[in-house]
Structure 1
């Protein structure tokens, strides 16, 4: 079983409701994922995004660059209940906006500049595949869509639920 970074956009009203009723939020996640499986096309209104297994590498790279928002784990706890590999956390609309603004000015090449794959092995970055410099390219294909997802959420004034599943 793999560990995947998961994101769900929420309106401010939905975030308020989720904070009062985390079970409602989990049901919304399930409904959204079920609709996505049924072939809902990706668009600026797409509510769910996954970084798949690249979440840990992206987190390492962003932390290494002193990124001011934790876009990999979230910053505030929604509940103490586990949604996979720990409790979900969230970002307020203001933090989503800040993250989107900085992500827009950040390239994946900037993030991996000067990184040696041995650093990833030493830091035990999941999954353990860091045997060559080319392995750093692995998460590059998901960085641009993650940036777009945050940009679209920020443009709509949305908050973000984040969890590892």
Structure 2
């Protein structure tokens, strides 16, 4: 079974309710994932986004740049209940805006500049596929859509729920 980075855009009112009723938030996430499975909206319009298995690599690369927001795990706990591999966390609308602005100014080639694949192996970055410099390009196809997803959420004033499933 693989581990995937999951994101759900929520309005400030939905975040307030999710903080009071985490089970309601889980049901909302399931409803949105089911509805979105019917058709794949553009990342800027989507309510749900996944970085699939690239979440750990992206987190490692962003942390190296001292990224101001943890866009892989979130900043604040939503609940202690597990939504897969641990509890979900969230970002406030202000944190989403900061992340969106910073992601927009960041290019993927900046993220991988100076990274040796052996660093990823040593850091036990999931999944263990770091056998060549070309493996660093693995997450490049998801970085731009992730940026678009955050920009869409920020422009709508949304918060974000984040979990590993």
Normalising by structure 1, report the TM-score. 0.98
Give CA deviations for 1:78-137 in whole Å, capped at 9, x if unaligned.
000000000000000000000001100000000000000000000000000000000000
Give how far 1:38 is off. Answer: 1.7
Match of 2:118 in 1: 118
The alpha-carbon deviation at position 37 of structure 1 amounts to 1.5
Q: Which residue of 2 aligns with 1:25?
A: 25
With over 3 angstroms needed to count, the CA separation of the structure-2 counterparts of 1:100 and 1:43, relative to structure 1, is: closer
Q: Which consecutive residues of structure 2, in runs of 5 or more, have no partner in the other structure?
A: none
Divergent runs of 4+, >6 A? none
Alignment of 1:74-153 (within 5 A): 74-153=74-153
Which residue of 2 is the match for residue 69 of structure 1? 69
Q: Normalising to structure 2: TM-score of the pair? A: 0.98
Structure 1: where are the runs of 5+ without partners? none
The 1:78/1:132 distance shift into structure 2, 3 A limit, reads: same
Number of paired residues?
A: 165
Deviation (angstroms), 1:70: 0.1
RMSD after superposition? 0.8
Contact 2:43 2:49 survives alignment (8 Å): no
- 2:125 & 2:71 partners in 1: Cα distance? 17
